[in-house]
Amino acid sequence: MQVNYITACNETMPAYRYRMRIPGQQMDVYGISHYPITADIHVLSKPYISDPLTLMSLMNMAEGLDYVFDLCDDIFRREYVGNYIRHMISNAKAVTCSTDGMKDIILEETGVEATVISDPTEFEEQPIKDISNPSVMWFGSATNFDILKYVNCPYPVEVVSDISVKDRLKNVSFDWTFTEWSLENMQKAFKRNNVVIVPTFNDKNVNHNYTTKSPNRVFEAIRNGLSVVAAPIPEYQKFGDFITLDWNMENGLKNIRQITPEAQKYVRDNHSPEVIGNQWKQLFRSLLESTSVVAAAS
């Protein structure tokens, strides 16, 4: 089976790795490109930029393709983008997303039933760390950074993110060190720390819909043996038997519990590249089989 992922992402973006490269490595042959190449299946994954000319070229490029449309962000209300998303979904062979929350939004906005396939792990499993002396980190992209302005933390925090957020750290209330994001730096930061905080907005401080957040930051922390304090949004609640859930990170850190081997087993069972890759394979095979049946009938 040959799979081609069509995307506007660059290789540093989480979607490139979690939605394309890591699942693709479980396929027989895969490619990631900005245009169609010879393949059995085309997947348009995060194929949007807030520029109407780019969106028009993507729509034109997809004409005549049997494609899977992978949508993981609620961007239906963005100027130009919403109509593009609806058009692309209406012509897709199948629609996928990474969370139940996004599935509900897609159904509400388009009437289309999406298939939920979560993100896979990226790092090798590491031993569980003792947390008697907490050493705290936060990691995420610049789009997730603003929540840190609302966080109180009794410990210094290592912030791992895009270099663009470094100057913005003057707006937070806790002591911090900054590490520019890279896969190598992430691995080093996981080794230096034993606790990860994963806050997010709630209705008390900002009107923002975070029901579509992927759990990848939670399960990557567990994978690396770190304990987690996370906001109790739906995708994080699925890990509630293993992590500390609290809107207030300071309060959560006071009540933090160390993860257990069962937590890492849960991650292996639900988010390993093999498990997620097989879910994608099953979807692709079903689509190819249905296409073959239609072709044979005609």
99-147, pLDDT tens digit by residue?
Answer: 999 999 999 999 999 999 999 999 999 999 999 999 999 999 898 898 9
pTM: 0.92
Residues of the chain with CATH 3.40.50.2000: 2-119+273-297, 136-270
Domain 2-119+273-297, what fold? Rossmann fold (3.40.50)
60-103, pLDDT tens digit by residue?
Answer: 888 889 999 999 988 888 888 888 999 999 999 999 999 999 99
248-298, pLDDT tens digit by residue?
Answer: 999 999 999 999 999 999 999 999 999 999 999 999 999 999 865 444 444
Q: Is the pLDDT of residue 194 over 50?
A: yes
Mean pLDDT of the region 224-246:
96
Q: How far is CA 154 from CA 80, 136, 170, 194, 204, in A?
A: 43, 10, 17, 15, 22
Residues 6+ apart with CB under 8 A from 63: none
Give the architecture-level CATH label for domain 136-270: 3-Layer(aba) Sandwich (3.40)
Return the residue matching tokens 């012509």: 91
Mean pLDDT of the region 7-16:
87
